[in-house]
Structure 1
């Protein structure tokens, strides 16, 4: 049976729901401020998981609280995936018969060592995930290093330990459990490395500066969004695309991406990268004037300077497409924005001590709260945890409501993919003890 056509317009007022667990998007919900006892978001909802959902209705939600959704409800399908003829490929599960399985026993495909466990931020609301497939992690890690070194020269030899310590293979495998092949995982992995090359070399640790950042970002953006100019000047622009590591990485990663994405997915990604660059510029402007923004202003900047380009391509990495008219709906955009905002505050919290040890003043949410609200470092950090938790609970509530309002298979799978990215992002931050350590506030 063909999938139902998406409605031309979503309801202006979506039904209120308590959480993704009630909706079936996540297996189980824990009390606010504690980890949820859940596996990968793709796993089926366990019987009895609806217990305790009533207390998850947040104060101030529009409308009356919806009744607890039972396991046989439509929203239960968000995790389980659509059923029926022709829908088996829509589930967040990787087939055991993937081509890379044949590589498991080859010497060059040896899995990485077990990742460090790491310590989650106390009180941080998150969902544990299963350890990413070590075979996939090893192969993605091998391929991305070959690409970074041989194809785009993304970093000099003296940065090799930092590149390895980033553990981007483990990161992307954890964030994209529904990627059908390693080739699909490499789409996201190249773009992640390219985005970090721009951040490091233009903005942050490795020669970055707020001075002149606007022109550097604009020219790098033309590697994603090509310049259409005259025949006289085009050769100079083409030559510029190979002039530094960020532009080489952007150009190559985008070429790989567009080979496996649709035109609308490519345009969506360019738009989100423009958002990211706008956020970089706002932060750079504050750095140039040595200004600490108001907390709300900082959060506005972080809605642009955040991880949004990563979960927004979850359908490309999954080998399907969320139709452009659905992606553009305000309710979908809100869910994606909330996911990006929550994951970015996770970065603020786990990178807090790393940034304090770096030269200069690095803006992050605890620093801004301490400065603007006169809080101690500890109280500011704990309040930032509360901000993250509220964003997460709102993301779950809004995603559940969206799934109820528009249970189209591609949208349900996309929502599961975004939720998986949120959880995988926290997993990577928690386990990457090479880069991150927690402050001694407990």
Structure 2
């Protein structure tokens, strides 16, 4: 699949959409994906000029021939902005070719989102996993886990994001008391965000993602988990916090009381402030998309809390259903906002794109189950994660349950990459290709953060 690279933030996608129309509709119909006619331009978010993103994007939508909005990509160069859909010549077929030699560890067909071994025909049996890729020095290694290495995050950006996010947490919203400072530093927000969003045009774009990540973690810790969390009364707390993301529209008598309530505790303060910054850079469509995914997240919190209150251990499929909602999905769904462009709402809403996002969130969340396994077992109370549920419901030993959870993750990753490749082939619009690449990079950056965060995580002694 062609690699769109970091297309100019002010590029004209209407011309590209016009030339792609006939090909997109034909390919989409062949794959059973309904793509509306007259595809809109990926609307850029105004930004200041930023540094070029680092080379070496990870696997997934990570390798392939370059694609630009010019003659080299087969797009007619003379189409003016606003050319009606269907006008002009049809784009020449896009040739898929690897831009670098096979690194050796990439599995065959499909091996990421569009490498030389791409095949849209699902195999009866998945390919055998390759040898482990090289991990950063001192990183945690889960044998058999399918993952892709990434370049080290830009240290200048890491330091700047780390300084700014701590200043925001302490000075702007008073997020945590002094004795929580070590845990905040140990979360390593700077490396996390820079690893997940290497194409962010400015530091402020990275900060939008960083504030939302810290706010979501504060709500999880203070409402649901170890730092004062409880399943009792969780629904009420989450609903009030959600109004910091999706504002209340009430009467003149009660509106001021609600506005004051947003300063009542750290989770609501963090949600309110992070959302204000996000809305400043996002389009209305992007903001509403994020609110929707946060509602999904909160519903997942409530399902887990309900099982906790009734001492219910779900079936494995039930647990995976809960984890599709209680997961990282709100993070990759904003990859275009952080990248300084917009995936049009009609393309984001396509079932095929929603499947890609769901699988990305599911795989990334099982990564969290695996790396946080020993941390959760050492915490007070009973924590539910995939190895625990597998051990209980399938009568497995702790080791066998953990190893099967690794297999579940690997299956989700293969399905994510196959679904991304299918969508990219069916709808090769630059905004779609860039968004898919951004989601793949986010998945790999999320794994990098877990693998290298030895302050928070350790691994069980199963090997």
Which whole-Å CA distance do the structure 2 matches of 1:218 and 1:418 have between them? 28
Aligned equivalent of 1:118: 139
Offset at 1:217?
A: 0.1
Q: Which residue of 2 aligns with 1:49?
A: 102
1:259 is the counterpart of 2:277: no
State the match for 1:26 in structure 2. 62
**Where does residue 321 of structure 2 map in the other structure?**
300
CA distance 1:69–1:57, change in 2 (3 Å): closer
Question: Alignment length, in residue pairs?
Answer: 370
**Aligned counterpart for 2:419 among listed residues 364, 383, 398:** 398
What is the CA-CA distance between 1:121 and the residue it aligns to? 1.1
Correspondence for 1:4: 17
- Give CA deviations for 1:304-325 in whole Å, capped at 9, x if unaligned: 0000000000000000000000
Aligned twin of 2:73: none
Conservation of the 8 A alpha-carbon contact between 2:144 and 2:406? yes
Which of 234, 243, 252 matches 1:213?
A: 234
TM-score, length of structure 1 as denominator length: 0.80
Q: C-alpha distance in 2, partners of 1:50/1:170?
A: 25
Secondary structure, aligned partner of 2:153: coil
Deviation string for 1:54-73 (max 9, x for gaps)? 95369xxxxxxx99569xxx
Question: Is 1:309 equivalent to 2:353 in the alignment?
Answer: no
Q: Distance in 2 between matches of 1:248 and 1:67?
A: 48
- Displacement after TM superposition at 1:370 (Å): 0.1
2: CA distance between counterparts of 1:377 and 1:399?
Answer: 33
Please report how far the alpha carbon of residue 161 of structure 1 lies from its aligned counterpart in structure 2 after TM superposition.
0.3
Using the alignment, how far apart are the partners of 1:310 and 1:160 within structure 2?
Answer: 24
Secondary structure of the corresponding residue to residue 17 of structure 2: coil
* Alpha-carbon shift at residue 3 of structure 1 (Å): 1.8
TM-score calculated relative to the size of structure 2: 0.76
Equivalent position SS for 2:29: coil
Residue pairs, 1:185-224, within 5 angstroms? 185-224=206-245
Distance 2:182 2:274 in 1: 22
Query: How far does residue 170 in structure 1 lie from its aligned partner after superposition?
Result: 0.6
Structure 1 equivalent of residue 384 of structure 2: 363
CA shift digits 1:348-387 (9 cap, x unpaired):
0000000000001100000000000000000000000000
State the distance in 2 between where 1:52 and 1:188 align.
31
C-alpha distance 370-68 of structure 1, shift in aligned 2 (>3 A)? closer
Name the CA shift for 1:8/1:405 in 2 (closer, same or farther; >3 Å). Answer: closer
Structure 2 residues without counterparts, runs of 5 or longer: 1-11, 34-56, 65-96, 120-135
- Contact 2:176–2:266 under 8 Å retained in 1: yes
Using the alignment, how far apart are the partners of 1:343 and 1:4 within structure 2? 32
Q: Are positions 1:290 and 2:308 aligned together?
A: no
Gaps of 5+ in 1: 16-20, 29-43, 59-65, 71-114
For 1:37-116, what aligned pairs fall within 5 Å after superposition? 45-49=98-102, 55-56=108-109, 68=117
Q: Which digits, 9 at most, give the CA deviation of each residue in 1:210-266, with x for residues without a partner?
A: 000000000000000000111111111011000000000000000000000000000
Q: For residues 173 and 287 of structure 2, what CA distance do their matches in structure 1 show? A: 21
Task: Give the corresponding residue for 1:232.
Answer: 253
TM-fit CA distance, 1:27: 3.7
User: Within 1, Cα distance between the matches of 2:426 and 2:153?
Assistant: 32
Going from structure 1 to structure 2, the CA distance change for 1:157 and 1:123 (only over 3 Å counts) comes to same
Q: 1:240 to 1:409 in 2, by over 3 A?
A: same
1:61-119 per-residue CA deviation (whole Å, 9 max, x = no partner) reads: xxxxx99569xxxxxxxxxxxxxxxxxxxxxxxxxxxxxxxxxxxxxxxxxxxx96312
Match of 2:401 in 1: 380
How big is the shift at 1:14? 5.7
Give the C-alpha shift of residue 11 in structure 1: 3.4
Q: Is the 8 A contact 1:339 1:418 kept in 2?
A: yes
Partner-residue secondary structure (3-state), 1:11? helix
> Post-superposition shift, 1:8?
7.2
Contact (CA 8 Å) 1:27, 1:49: kept in 2 or not? no
Indicate the RMSD between aligned Cα atoms, in angstroms.
Answer: 2.5
Alpha-carbon distance in 1 for matches of 2:407, 2:31:
27
Shift of 1:25: 2.2
Asked if structure 2 preserves the Cα contact closer than 8 Å seen for 1:342 and 1:388, the reply is yes
Distance across 1 between alignment mates of 2:337 and 2:160: 20
- What does residue 355 of structure 2 align with? 334
The correspondence of residues 154-169 of structure 1 with structure 2, limited to 5 A, is 154-169=175-190
The whole-number CA distance in structure 1 between the counterparts of 2:323 and 2:110 is 26
Q: Distance in 1 between matches of 2:235 and 2:293?
A: 17
